[in-house]
Structure 1
Amino acid sequence: MVTAWALSFATVRAPVAEAASCPDVEVVFARGTADKPGIGFTGRQFVTALKKRLPGKTVSVYAVNYPASWNFPKSTSQGAVDANKHVQYVAAICPKTKIVLGGMSQGAGVIDLITIGNRVIWFFKPAPLPDTMVNHVAAIAVFGNPSRDVSTLGPLTKISPLYGSRTIDLCAPGDPYCSSGNNFFAHFAYPWNGMVNEAATYVAGRVLGTQS
């Protein structure tokens, strides 16, 4: 079960929203385990694909600041606290900005912890967003979400009462970190298997109001 909260790629940190110049869209993305600080390879590919689908829109990116370490309960819980604080910060200074949440593997777990309410998952500490934040979060996209591989949980679309309906939770066929599969390489396939583009299309539709 411990190994379920795992992995991703490398990165770059992007600017956060500022009161003087609020973006149309702010992507808050959490990288996977052992990745360098930033949003990771899957995160970068997702943001690139999303920007292509939002011509004329300004898109800012915030990399969740957390260890992304193998100490999953501590690391993921720290990420949830940071993501929670940043979402509320953006909502306060840029109330018209549409916030997009995203995460890869352990990073998906970070997003789970801020969107499933007060539900406790083993040793992971939830950091639920205030209910009013649902008016600011336009969409969520998670990849390789380990909660999918737990019989008592499931995809974020199922376990989040407020945010499930605005979420796309993708698991590559055979990915052992979000399914019963045993294809380790599937966990790294999201940028190439079409799912990053699928997520970007869904999120863009939510941002533009064309996706219910």
Structure 2
Amino acid sequence: MQISRIFGAAGAAVLGACASIVGVGAPTASAQQPCPDVEVIFARGTSEAPGVGGVGQAFVDAVRAQAAPRSVGVYAVNYPAGNNFDDRAVFAQTVIDGIRDAGNRVQTMSESCPDTRLVLGGYSQGAVVSGFTTSDTVPSSVPTAIAPSPLAPDVAEHVAAVVLFGAPSGAFLSKYGAPAITIGPLYADKTEELCAPGDGICDGSAGGFPGVAHALYPVNGMTNEGAAFAVGRL
């Protein structure tokens, strides 16, 4: 997968700055219904503190507002979201850890809370995590010994929507030898990828580079747009 080469050393510094602009979402309180009507499973972006991150919190708030009076639980994908892009092995492992944790949560909720509608989301590096979580194949460049197995097909019916913010484009990823994010066929029709104008990470432009646009999702209306997409599919 060579995910560790997604951003490069220069991008790491800018992404860290973007994280500070976005702000960090506080870890979600653990005191919530064991089987809410809806659960948002969200992977934060690079360098954000544990929790759902700034984009994730804005998205969760919008989902709660639009889904009311239904109860909405939150699960923050447990992975480092590190910016150590120079160490390919370490960074690849952080993404794989995120895919495994997100997949385990989807699987667990589908079994223990079958009536709960799941919304899978992610921002930036977290969009890579959540996108690949839906894939029905493991990229050929990833050793099967370290890659989590794809989700069972019957799990897909429990996932109402997948919403990705600032997901690195295939053109951007290809510069670093990484494969494009693969959305599994069972999730394709229920996936929305939101890319802010001028966000070089996701817009496919030549020489794409992290900038301010990559940090504006909580304030540019796109978290509300993503929430409307998700709630409309519950």
Contact 1:73 1:123 (C-alpha < 8 Å) held by counterparts? no
Q: 1:13 offset after TM fit, Å? A: 2.2
Match in the other structure for 2:215: 188
Contact 1:31 1:106 (C-alpha < 8 Å) held by counterparts? yes
List per-residue Cα deviations over 1:107-158 (Å, max 9, x = no partner).
00111221121141755946421111111000011101114434696676xx
Asked which structure has the greater RCO (Cα within 8 Å, sep 6+), the reply is 2
* Mapped partners of 2:34, 2:161: distance in 1: 22
Match in the other structure for 2:184: 160
Identity %: 43
Say what the alpha-carbon RMSD is for the aligned residues. 2.5
Between stretches 124-133 and 135-144, larger displacement belongs to 124-133
Q: Which structure 1 segments of 5+ residues have no match?
A: 208-212
List per-residue Cα deviations over 1:15-65 (Å, max 9, x = no partner).
5698x7410001100001111000000000001011111111000000000
Aligned residues: 204
| Structure-to-structure mapping, 1:20-169, within 5 angstroms | 21-71=34-84, 72-120=91-139, 122=141, 125=147, 127-148=149-170, 149-150=172-173, 159-169=183-193
What is the identity, as a one-letter code, of the residue corresponding to 2:113? C
* Mapped partners of 1:118, 1:147: distance in 2: 19
Give the alignment's TM-score, normalised by structure 2.
0.78
1:153 and 1:161, CA in 2 relative to 1: closer, same or farther beyond 3 A? farther
List per-residue Cα deviations over 1:57-115 (Å, max 9, x = no partner).
00000000001012431111100001111111111110000000000001001112211
Q: Which structure 2 segments of 5+ residues have no match?
A: 85-90
Contact 1:53 1:201 (C-alpha < 8 Å) held by counterparts? yes
Highest Rg: 1 or 2? 2
SS of the residue corresponding to residue 172 of structure 1 reads: coil
